[in-house]
Every structure is written in structure tokens, then in C-alpha cells.
Amino acid sequence: MNPPRATVASLPERRSVGKERVVAFPEVRDETSGTAAEHAWTRAQFPGYQWSSRELFEDKNGRTYHRVTLTDARGQGMTVYFDITEWFDRLR
């Protein structure tokens, strides 16, 4: 799957994450497509990295995010944030 169109912005409220950015997929409308988009986007942007963990959190404005930790073969990690508000808990 090619990743759908993505937007990248700063994480609101600087949730103590430094320079991390938030990725959103404006055209995604359900969890199945959203999860597939997250995987496709991370494969395209960070080849060689594997998902280590995914956490769910909500900010004080009611927006919902996935915090995904990626790790490469040398053990180097990075974190990517996905704004999933528009499609979280929506099934096809």
C-alpha cells in the first residue's frame, strides 16, 4: 500500500516531546485504513525501522494520538506521533 496523503505539523502544547511532529491523514475515515496508513507511511519515511511500540493518548483539547516508537537494526529509536482523532474508534 502506498501511504495516503499526509500532513505534518508541530505537536500541540509541546507535550514535552521536543521537536517531534504529528502526522495526520486527512482522507482516512476508519481504524482499518488509519492503521494501514500509519504502517505504510512509516515504511516509506523510515525504511529499515520496525515498530517497537504504539501508545494511545488524548490531549487536553480532546484530540487523540498514537505515539509510535520505531527501532532500526542497530537499536536506534525514534518516535512518531499520529493524530488519529478523525478516525479513532470508527470501524469500516
User: Looking at the domain assignment, is residue 46 inside a domain?
Assistant: yes
3-state class (DSSP) for residue 22: strand
The total number of structural domains that make up the chain: 1
User: Looking at the domain assignment, is residue 92 inside a domain?
Assistant: no
Asked whether the beta carbons of 25 and 69 are under 8 A apart, the reply is no
User: Looking at the domain assignment, is residue 2 inside a domain?
Assistant: no
User: Looking at the domain assignment, is residue 74 inside a domain?
Assistant: yes
* Integer Cα distance of 27 and 6 in angstroms: 9
Confidence of residue 37 (pLDDT cuts 50, 70, 90): very high
Q: What is the pLDDT of residue 9?
A: 63
Residue 58 belongs to what domain range?
7-83
- Where in 2-87 does DSSP place strands (E)? 7-10, 21-24, 50-58, 64-71, 77-83
User: Looking at the domain assignment, is residue 1 inside a domain?
Assistant: no
42-91 pLDDT, tens digit each: 998 899 999 999 999 888 888 899 999 999 999 999 899 999 999 988 76
User: Looking at the domain assignment, is residue 90 inside a domain?
Assistant: no
